[in-house]
Each structure stands twice: as C-alpha cells, then as structure tokens.
Amino acid sequence: MLLDNLVVKISALVGLFTGIELIAIAIFTISVIYFRSPLVAGVIGNLSSLGMTLGVILVFVKREMH
C-alpha cells in the first residue's frame, strides 16, 4: 500500500514537471518566432520554466504549512 502510494506520487511529479517543460518549450518556440534570437528565446524559456517550478514549490510549501 505504501509502495503504491509512493509510485502514484512520483508519477504525478514526473507528469507535473514534464508539463512545465512542455510549456517552456512552447514559450521558447513562440519567442524564437517573435524575437528571431535564440539567445533571448532561451533566456525567456528558462525563466518561464524556473518561475513555474518555483511557483509549484511555493504552493506545496504553503499548503504544508497550513
């Protein structure tokens, strides 16, 4: 039972971070088309990925504190 719960939680986290990375890839692609500079698009894509990851961490920390 504990192992099943752990597998489900790990699968959910993998899915969550995969979704965050897919959103970052989409933002990167749109930025490359709009700015036509891979460097600027890379910075924007990485910042969006970092921001979403930090947001998820903060939501979980805030939820655990209550």
Q: What is the pLDDT of residue 43?
A: 93
Predicted pLDDT at 4 = 81
Give the number of domains in the chain. 1
Over residues 13-52, the pLDDT tens digits come to 899 989 999 999 999 999 999 999 999 999 999 999 999 9
Q: Which domain holds residue 33?
A: 2-65
SS (H, E, C) the chain: CHHHHHHHHHHHHHHHHHHHHHHHHHHHHHHHHHHCCHHHHHHHHHHHHHHHHHHHHHHHHHHHHC
- pLDDT the model gives residue 3: 77
**Mean pLDDT, residues 55-63:** 89
